[in-house]
Structure 1
Amino acid sequence: MGKSKAPLKKQQQRGVDFKKIKRKVGRKLPPPKNVTNTEIKSKAIVLPEQSVASEKAGLAVSKKGLTLKELLQQTSHHNPKIRKDALIGIRDIFLNYPTELRLHKLAVIEKLRERISDDDKLVRETLYQLLKSVIFPGCREDNQGPFISLMMAYIFNAMTHLSMDVRLMAFKFFDLVVQHYPSSFPLYAEKIFQNYEDILRKNQFLLREKGKLKNVLGGLVHCLLLLPSNKGDHDLPGGKEAAADVLHAFEPEALEDPAGFSVIKKKLKELVPVLVSCFQDFIQLVHSMPHLDAQSFDCMQYILQSLDLVVRFFTYAIDNPRQEIQVSVPPEELDTAIQGQAIVLLLLKKLFDLFPLNPTHYLSGKEDGKYFVLNVMITEIFLHSSDGLCPPATFFEKFLEFIASALCGEISVGTQPGKAFLEKHLLLLIPFTPKLVLLVEGGWKSRILQAFTKIFQSCHPESSLKWACLLAVEEMLIPQRLGLQHLDACDPEVLDYQITWIRELPLLLNLLGDKHPLHSRNVLNLLLRIGQCAASKTCFVQEYDNMQYSFAEFYCTCMEERSVSYGPFIKLDRDVQELSICCLYYFSYVDSVLLKSLAWCCLYDGLEPFVIFRIVEILHSAYKVGHIQIADHISFFITLLSGFKVSPGVCHVGKSFPVLGNDEISNRGTFKSITSLVCSCMLQMGDDYLVLRILEKVVLSQISLDPALDNLCALLRVLAALDSRPTRLSQQSIINLSNLLPVYLIDVVSCFPEDTDESTGPVGRSSSHYYLLPCFFLFYRSDKILRFVLKKLCSLVIEKRLSLSSCAPDHSSRIAAIVSLIRLMHQDVKIRKILSSCKAEIDLILQNILTIQSSEQINIIEERHKIQSAVDQLKALMRTLFSESWKSKSACLVQSALKNAMHDASMSEED
């Protein structure tokens, strides 16, 4: 069977016509073999580039490659999305290419203003953000006239648009203009107030759109902030810059309308009832709601703030006589009799009828705080509207009750942040305290004064409430600032509170320290004004004088003689220091404790010389008017002269001495000026003899304590300034000086050597002369002092050692210094005449020098040579001195003989 099958298989293979090819799915079939090739080959044709991008090379383009011109054209496209994208593209260009805005500012505004009334909300919002963040900040420094005129026409057109959304957004655009260009507001004030009035009359519609109404009211507040006002300008948003804008916003208008904003006043009178009506509608709305929502609360705050600003404007702008208003009289009958503020008070009657605002249902603590804030704002409006007028009794009682309760902390503010929340809103009521205290009597006055004093003492020294209280205290102590009448100081209750306030001021000053110079300046300014008026208010004199014990801590605290703790005075600015120094003059007597504190404060190394001079000047002026006792005044001067530290330089063994006197790198020049000033003051203190009697014991006691060379010189200068010829010093003072002066003179000559070296000679002579001059004055006025000093010098020659503080402790240096000293005396014409009569003392000095030279104490060649040089100098000096004396005596004898001979000859001729 196997053989039969094989041929059969071969037979089947020969019978196949074509072979089947298996192909994978997706593979491309090869072309048929008989296909015709239609491929055409040709050379490439290269044309010049004509790309659109090449035309924009070098131009500012957005992220999408569009130029500013193209984007401006697209802002008018029928598709709102394209308009919005075009505004975004313009923003990108201006941020990346700021010069584009400066170059095309007016053209851009002229095109973009068309979108203010755009039907699409997103387009308007995008335009607003573009103007707010890019265009207005970038154009603020440029000319505003053309820029604003292009905008305002379209803004006012949008304010009358049929769509309420467009109208509301127009007010937002105008608010933006006012924020960046406040001076433009007066030009359009009448029209803008009219538009605000029109839109607010539609409050029923706006109550459903509280967010948009909030924007409208916020813009109104910004406009009203630009009106002139005598109060609250310091609270403006933006600080000093905003206040400056307000001050200058109405300058052109004020020049043209000196009578006072007649058109604006008319519009504001029409606006007040609309605002009051809007507020009433909100009250009805919130009473029907389960809680006072945030948007309603913000809108009510804006309404009350707007009313307050209107009232402030009328209080400032109207100069009509103040008169009592009877609210029961219809306004129509009063229009011809009263103006401005009085009319506004009548227009606000409906608002005051709502006071105090209370929830009609139980609310959380947070809600209680909101109602408290609204009541505070209404109270502020009432107090501003009745400023200068006698407030209606029907309203006054309930406002007084609220004010007293708020100041005493009797009103619950719920779960608000406690003390900080209360202080923030009491800040609005505190400025009215002086007026209320003047108006009320009896229990109301006591309650308000007690609550105010408690707040003043308890609030933090750095808080805004403390400074509001400080201003109120100033008005109640010195009411001339606002033209108020005086509080009755004869009223014991009022006087007690005034004394409490005065006692609080120096404590506050010390608590502030040197970290808050502006606050310290305010406190010192008030203290100065109290001192200035204390003379006319005897009840304040004693309290002002007692204040100096706390005031002394402001300068420094002297625990012991050398343990001083400096106060904040030394680190404050010069103008603050000046205020505190001026306060010293008005104490009826200056206690020694305060003088000691001031003296040690003057010795502080870092204190400016000008401040020291001012302290001396003010204290001396106080002495002249009898506020300082003479002993205390002298003690202050001596403490200043004996304790002042002169720098730099340490000479020899550690005692401070001037080093060849370079005043430019030390404070020696300052101390010389202080010494001259003290001497001048001493000569003006009264009879020189009496002052010298008090002074000489004090000075000699300080000299005996071995002060530094400069301090000793200053004390001697004061003594010499008060002495005269012949000397008025007592015998004991002469003896004491004679024992102290020799060592001082040796130190002076040792520190300022009188060598022939040209580099040091002139400086040494000028410096040594300053230190020797007071001694020369004493020698000239009393030759007894000179003789005692020469005798003491004679004994110092043979002494083994001077005090450790001396600059010449060894024999050779000491002898050289003594000889130099005698030579300097010889150079002074007046002292030379006295010195010529002291031959015995000088001979004794020479003999002692020769004794030392021949003794075994000197065993060093250099020292012997130094002593020999001094001996030679002294001998030469003695020959010159005594030969001059002999010649002088001989000349006198010859002259006397000639006179006698002439006299005898004349007598003989007569005979």
Structure 2
Amino acid sequence: MGRPKGGAGASSSSSKKPKQKQKQRGGVDFKKYKHKVGRKLPPPKNATNTEIKSKTIVLPEQSLATERAGVAVNKRGLTLRELLQQTVHYNANVRRAAMSGIKDIVVKHPTELKLHKVAMIEKLQERICDTDKVVRESLYNMLQSMIFPALKEDNAISTRSTLFLLMANILNGMTHLSIDIQLMAFRFLELVVLNFPSSFSSYAEQVFNNFVAVLSNDRINLHDRNKLNSVLSGLGHCLSLFSKATENDGTSDRQFFARHLQVHNHSARELWKYTAEEDNSGARSFAIPNLLVKLQSLVQILVNSVEVSASELCAKSAIDAQSSEALLSALHCLDIICRIFIHEVKKPHFKFSISKTQFGPDWLRSSLLIHLKNLWGVKRLFYEKGDEKFFIFNLKIAEIFLCLSEWIDNTMFPAEEFCHFVSSLFSKAKTLRNKDIMEMYLSPLITCIPGLVFNAPYESKGYLLEAFTDAFRGCKVDCKLILPYLDAVGEMLLPEKKSIWAAENDPGMLSYHDALIHELPQILLESVDKAPSVTKVVLELLLRIGQYFPTMDFENLRPFIKLFGVESSSGAVELGPFVNLPHDCQELAISCLYYFPKLLPDIIRPLASCCLSDALEPLILFRTVEILQSTYKAGNLQITEQLSFLALLIARFRVHPGHLITPGDPTKLSNWATFKSLNRLILTSLSEMGDGSLVLELMWNNLSNVIAQKPSMHNINGLFRIIVTLDAGTSKLINEDVVKLIAGYLVDASLDLSKTIEVGFQPDKTRLFQYFIKPCTIIFDKNDKVLCSTLEMLKSFVTGDDDLFSSLSNLNTPGELSCRVCVVTTILIFLCNDQKLHRKLSFGKSVIKGILDYIRHQLDSSVPNVTYEEKQKLKFAFEQLKTKALQLNCWDRSEIEGLSTTK
């Protein structure tokens, strides 16, 4: 075979060529591309184009608010729910806007608050610890002005759970790292306590712990102490609530408060279960001692704060309002704490008594007074200053020590120096220009004065009473301090309280007793117009003074007479303010009369004038008669004075009969029923005085004098009833003047009724005439001579021989013959109708026959002045009287029938 062309060289060259890649077996599925970095990939060939092209739709009238038609939104179109969600936004500006929007919705849509107030609190209570001051302030204002007022109207159970969440956040805020949030939390606490006092009891111990912590916090520098005003103000309110609870002496109320004085995170099953075992173990009394320990710590903190603040204020040239307010709040809190401890010391020693051994009288002296002793030095700092603010500080300090005066002795404080200090405060108070401040801060000092005077050394009582009496004398009746002054005076004077006079026989001390009493009547008279509320207080005090000091010098009370009126030298009485007093004050005033018997002789006439006034209510009128009658029975009123008073009432009482007698003035109500009740009451009083004839003998001069003054028919009727009750058969009635008066009274009483004699007596007028004639018929039954003399007077009246008789009639004496005849006929008819008088009238049959003869003569004769109409009246009266005369059976029938008239 031949060698290939090229030989060996060729074969070597061919071996150096690169080997070609073997072809892949099978088909190609994907084609690989090499792409550069950052280059956009082309879309796949099978990609779908999803691009949509459209035109813009413009709706100019569409807005978010219109889409929510019927839903309450704020100015920005946000609902309440959306705004509440925004209150937790991380941005403070958004939270501020949300709080403002919530307020906007509540103002414009009050129903939103009513429906969602609980939900609002549950969401907003988280803002108590908000880091933004504006948000916290907005929440405070919203709770104060909107949410809490609405929540108080709702007594639902959900309210308690809502307050539970709120208090939990407030307690968290009190322990916050931020001082501003801490102080604001105390403001929230005060707001809750003011609106929901019952919510405080469950958190009392924790709250007081936080008060101790914040007031002793060194992070609050001296220049920041003004920020503590809200803390001290809240502390004052919490202490007041605790004080009210501890002052409750009822066991059930003490159990209730102790049951709630627990930490708020205790479960309901851990609340108090009052059993005998728990009572014996002392389990139910753990809360109050714990709280008292906290209060003990607060005393030291507050005293130290007062010392520092006092030094700063005294070093300043002018006092700023915030510093002054903080100091006053601290002193106020100290005062409440001291009163709480004092009440705890004075409690009875029960077997379950709280802190009786730990907080007793010895503790007051060894612990509390030791801390308060530093205030004595503060008092000296303020005393050297002349500003009114420093005077107010001293008033508060004095108030604290006054409530502790029972436990203060000379080893602690010089008692005499303290009394001088209090006396100087009263003297300084008179020079104050700002009366409102004086009225606000001097009142507690006045209240404590009785206790100080009672416990003060004997040598110190004099200038204390002098300062107090001088201040009391200078107090205006319309000043707010007048009521505390009166309470203090009553507490010092009355034995039922701490009377300083009970064991005092020193004339110097008793002079202040008289000086205090001497001021009361003048205060009473001034208070009627200027301070009506004071009037009742003074009257109550006067009444109790009269009850406890029956032998007092009544000259000090002589101005009391002016309450009823003043009698002039001519005898006229000018009414006092008694008639215009309220009903309860009038009752007190007349009750005082029982205990002021030596004033009664000068009071009787003014008092009677008051009783006769139309302005006085009937009940007070009757009560006055009863009081004077009781005074007479007790031997403190002369019988002649009582009889004079009763006769004066009957004789001068102005009766307004109204429609009962004449139409009169329709605007004036009838008081006839009142007069009749008064008459019955007076008759009962007279019957209790003993023998009627002797009583009538004593008051006859008064009766005859008032009868001679020709009072009205009602008054004469009352006077006649007095005579009839006491002695209807008295010989004093057999007197020409008295008989004339009786006859004239009968004529006046029958004049109106006699006009109806022809047509028949009207029932109303008949009953009225019977009422008026009743006492006369009793007199006639008991006294024959008076009846006969009266009949003679009536005959004279008919015949026209009435010169003396006509002057006794109050009404116009009828001049017409027929009228006179009808009047007398009416009287005789009613006398004949009385069965008891039939025998008595037989003694006057000649007089009756004479009247009949006279009438017949007038009918038979041709008297020119008698008209036909008059003759008809005379004839009718004649027949009426003749018929009644036949019924008497006291003379022969032929004698009467022989009297006939010509036709």
TM range (shorter): 0.7 to 0.9
Structure 1 window deviating more from structure 2 (382-391 vs 348-357): it is 382-391
Partner of 1:805: 810
1:781 aligns with 2:782: yes
Partner of 1:398: 417
Partner of 1:844: 850
CA distance in 2, matches of 1:509, 1:369: 32
Q: Where do residues 488-503 of structure 1 align in structure 2 (5 Å cutoff)?
A: 488-503=503-518
Q: 1:826 aligns with which of 832, 840, 848?
A: 832
Contact map agreement 2:579 2:610 (CA 8 A) in 1: yes
1:873 aligns with 2:880: yes
Q: 1:598 aligns with which of 607, 622, 629?
A: 607
1:195 offset after TM fit, Å? 0.5
Query: SS at 2:574's partner residue?
Result: strand
CA deviations over 1:389-421 (Å, ceiling 9, x no partner): 656453434322221222233x897xx626665
Q: 2:539 aligns with which of 524, 530, 542?
A: 524
Q: Where do residues 38-49 of structure 1 align in structure 2 (5 Å cutoff)?
A: none
CA distance in 2, matches of 1:650, 1:174: 69
1:272 offset after TM fit, Å? 0.9
Contact map agreement 2:514 2:556 (CA 8 A) in 1: no
Query: SS at 2:876's partner residue?
Result: helix
Query: SS at 1:557's partner residue?
Result: strand
Q: Where do residues 766-777 of structure 1 align in structure 2 (5 Å cutoff)?
A: 766-777=767-778
Partner of 1:720: 724
Partner of 1:906: none
Query: SS at 2:77's partner residue?
Result: coil
Q: 2:652 aligns with which of 643, 646, 654?
A: 643
CA deviations over 1:128-154 (Å, ceiling 9, x no partner): 111111111111122341231120011
1:122 aligns with 2:140: no
CA distance in 2, matches of 1:412, 1:747: 68
Q: Which amino acid aligns with 1:777?
A: I
Q: Where do residues 480-879 of structure 1 align in structure 2 (5 Å cutoff)?
A: 480-481=496-497, 483=498, 486-535=501-550, 538=551, 540=552, 543=553, 545-546=554-555, 549-559=558-568, 563-649=572-658, 665-724=669-728, 727-730=729-732, 733-753=734-754, 755=756, 761-799=762-800, 802-803=806-807, 805-806=810-811, 808-811=813-816, 812-851=818-857, 854=861, 856=863, 858-879=865-886
Q: 2:396 aligns with which of 377, 388, 395?
A: 377
CA distance in 1, matches of 2:758, 2:335: 84
Q: 1:419–1:487: structure 2 CA closer, same or farther, 3 Å change rule? A: farther
CA distance in 1, matches of 2:173, 2:126: 10
1:204 offset after TM fit, Å? 6.3
Partner of 2:26: none
Q: Which amino acid aligns with 1:432?
A: C
1:59 aligns with 2:71: yes
Q: Which amino acid aligns with 2:788?
A: R
Q: How many residue pairs get matched?
A: 803
CA distance in 1, matches of 2:747, 2:245: 72
Contact map agreement 1:603 1:640 (CA 8 A) in 2: yes
Query: SS at 1:565's partner residue?
Result: strand
Partner of 1:236: none
1:449 aligns with 2:465: yes
Partner of 1:292: 319
Partner of 2:10: none
CA distance in 1, matches of 2:190, 2:91: 28
Query: SS at 2:566's partner residue?
Result: strand
Instruction: Output the TM-score relative to the length of structure 1.
Output: 0.81
1:119 offset after TM fit, Å? 0.6
CA deviations over 1:249-304 (Å, ceiling 9, x no partner): 95975997689933322221121111111112213333443433222111111100
Q: 1:436 aligns with which of 452, 463, 471?
A: 452
CA distance in 1, matches of 2:758, 2:128: 90
1:247 offset after TM fit, Å? 12
Q: 1:345 aligns with which of 369, 381, 384?
A: 369
CA distance in 2, matches of 1:645, 1:412: 51
Contact map agreement 2:361 2:407 (CA 8 A) in 1: no
CA deviations over 1:413-468 (Å, ceiling 9, x no partner): 7xx62666555543332223222323334553221111211111111012122222
Structure 1 window deviating more from structure 2 (300-309 vs 454-463): it is 454-463
1:862 offset after TM fit, Å? 2.8
CA deviations over 1:543-599 (Å, ceiling 9, x no partner): 2x4356322210122336774322221111111111111111112445322111111
Contact map agreement 2:564 2:577 (CA 8 A) in 1: yes
Q: 1:635–1:148: structure 2 CA closer, same or farther, 3 Å change rule? A: same
Contact map agreement 2:522 2:559 (CA 8 A) in 1: yes
Structure 1, unaligned runs of 5 or more: 1-41, 234-245, 323-332, 652-656, 888-911
CA distance in 2, matches of 1:302, 1:449: 30
Query: SS at 1:837's partner residue?
Result: helix
Contact map agreement 1:461 1:512 (CA 8 A) in 2: yes
CA distance in 1, matches of 2:739, 2:879: 27
Structure 1 window deviating more from structure 2 (448-457 vs 435-444): it is 435-444
Contact map agreement 2:364 2:407 (CA 8 A) in 1: no
CA distance in 1, matches of 2:58, 2:446: 87
CA distance in 2, matches of 1:819, 1:412: 81
Structure 2, unaligned runs of 5 or more: 1-53, 262-271, 275-283, 350-356, 895-903
Contact map agreement 2:493 2:500 (CA 8 A) in 1: no
CA distance in 2, matches of 1:777, 1:308: 77
Q: 1:647–1:763: structure 2 CA closer, same or farther, 3 Å change rule? A: same
Contact map agreement 1:661 1:767 (CA 8 A) in 2: no
CA deviations over 1:748-795 (Å, ceiling 9, x no partner): 112344847999722122211111110000000011111000000011
Q: Which amino acid aligns with 1:116?
A: I
CA distance in 2, matches of 1:685, 1:58: 86
Q: Which amino acid aligns with 1:703?
A: I
Q: Where do residues 352-431 of structure 1 align in structure 2 (5 Å cutoff)?
A: 352-358=376-382, 368-387=387-406, 390=409, 392-409=411-428, 417=433, 421-422=437-438, 424-431=440-447
1:879 offset after TM fit, Å? 2.5
1:718 offset after TM fit, Å? 0.5
Contact map agreement 1:72 1:108 (CA 8 A) in 2: yes
Q: 1:272 aligns with which of 289, 299, 317?
A: 299
Q: Which amino acid aligns with 2:404?
A: S
Contact map agreement 1:699 1:715 (CA 8 A) in 2: yes
Q: Percent identity?
A: 36
CA distance in 1, matches of 2:339, 2:303: 16
1:376 offset after TM fit, Å? 1.4
Structure 1 window deviating more from structure 2 (444-453 vs 298-307): it is 444-453
Contact map agreement 1:433 1:472 (CA 8 A) in 2: yes
Q: 1:441–1:389: structure 2 CA closer, same or farther, 3 Å change rule? A: closer
Contact map agreement 2:734 2:785 (CA 8 A) in 1: no
Structure 1 window deviating more from structure 2 (385-394 vs 466-475): it is 385-394
1:70 aligns with 2:82: yes
Query: SS at 2:413's partner residue?
Result: helix
Q: Which amino acid aligns with 2:433?
A: P
CA distance in 2, matches of 1:846, 1:758: 21
Contact map agreement 1:836 1:885 (CA 8 A) in 2: no
1:881 offset after TM fit, Å? 2.5
1:690 offset after TM fit, Å? 0.9
CA deviations over 1:316-346 (Å, ceiling 9, x no partner): 2332699xxxxxxxxxx99798346864223
Query: SS at 1:394's partner residue?
Result: coil
Partner of 2:897: none
Q: Which amino acid aligns with 2:535?
A: S
Q: 1:259–1:170: structure 2 CA closer, same or farther, 3 Å change rule? A: closer
CA distance in 2, matches of 1:572, 1:393: 51
CA distance in 2, matches of 1:628, 1:715: 22
CA distance in 1, matches of 2:656, 2:678: 15
Query: SS at 2:444's partner residue?
Result: coil
1:208 offset after TM fit, Å? 1.8
